[in-house]
Amino acid sequence: MRCHEVGELLSALLDGELSSSEEQDLLRHVQVCPVCSQEFRDLQRLEDMMSKVCLPDLPDAAWEEHWSCLYNKLERRIGYLFAGIGITLLLIYGFFELLHMWFLNPAVSLLLKMSIGILGVGLIILCISTSREKLLSRRYDRYKELVR
């Protein structure tokens, strides 16, 4: 084995990730090469430092609190879903009621029908436009997140 072949294998040796034959090959070289053996000692020193520290953790009680917060959010999601379905159904019902009682009623003036009709069309266009914008920005966001 030559020095230029050693490189990242030293890390793998340190982590016990080499097969026994790879390990023997590498150790044979490291034992006789001062450059690679110095590099291995440096890696070991870093490993030694890293083994003395760890990342901060949260107490179990904090996790329980966070879980109950998350649980409430999950539950509320179902609430929002049902409320959303209810509102949609009501709107559809209201629309047909309005159509039936108002637009098909000859007693209501044509001008009023027209203004309400135009207002309705305007609102529908605004609704479609904003939801399309939201959908597009969300799709862009997802695409950005997928980039590794």
Partner 1 sequence: MANPEMDRANELPNEQEVVRRAAAGDKDAFGVLYRAYAPRIYAVVYGLLMNRDEALDVTQVAFLRAWRALPRFQLGRPVFPWLYAIARNRSFSRMASNKASSQAVELQERHGSASDGHDRMVELRHDLGSAMAKLSLEQREIIVFRHFQSLSYKEIALVIGCPVGTVMSRLHNTRKALRVLMMDWEDDT
Site for partner 1 in 4-43 (CB under 8 A): 7-8, 10-12, 15, 17, 42-43
User: Which CB, 37 or 113, lies closer to Zn ion?
Assistant: 37
How far apart (Å, rounded) are the C-alpha atoms in residues 58 and 79? Answer: 31
CB neighbour list of residue 25: distance below 8 Å, 6 or more residues apart:
1
Smallest distance from the beta carbon of 2 to Zn ion, in angstroms?
7
82 binds, among partner 1, Zn ion, none (CB under 5 to 8 A by kind): none
Cα separations (Å) of 43 from 22, 39, 109, 112?
18, 6, 88, 83
97 touches partner 1 by CB under 8 A:
no
User: Which CB, 46 or 92, lies closer to partner 1?
Assistant: 46
If you ran DSSP here, which 8-state letter would residue 16 be given? T
CB 61: neighbour CB atoms within 10 A?
8
Site for Zn ion in 21-40 (CB under 5 A): 33, 35-36
27 binds, among Zn ion, partner 1, none (CB under 5 to 8 A by kind): none
